[in-house]
Amino acid sequence: MDLAIDKILESDHREIDVILERLDEAFERGIVADIHFLTDYFWARLAMHIRAEHLHLFPAVLDAVGSKAGNAVSISRPTLAHAEEVLIILRSEHNFFMDELADVMKRLRRIVRLRDPVPAVGLPLIRTQIGRVVETLASHNAVEESEVYIWVEEMVSNAKKAKLKTEIARELKNIPPRFDSSNLQ
Q: What is the pLDDT along the chain (185 residues), one digit of tens a residue?
A: 578 999 999 999 999 999 999 999 999 998 888 999 999 999 999 999 999 999 999 999 999 998 864 444 445 689 999 999 999 999 999 999 999 999 999 999 988 887 765 566 689 999 999 999 999 999 999 999 999 999 999 899 899 999 999 999 999 999 999 997 655 65
Which of 1.10.8, 1.20.58, 1.10.3470, 1.20.120 is the CATH number of 5-176? 1.20.120
Domain residue ranges of the chain, discontinuous segments joined by +: 5-176
Please list the residues that pair with 74 across neighbouring strands: 77
d(CA 106, CA 23): 17
d(CA 37, CA 111): 13
Question: By the 8 A CB rule, do 168 and 6 touch?
Answer: no
Please tell me whether the overall predicted TM-score, pTM, comes out greater than 0.85 for this model: yes
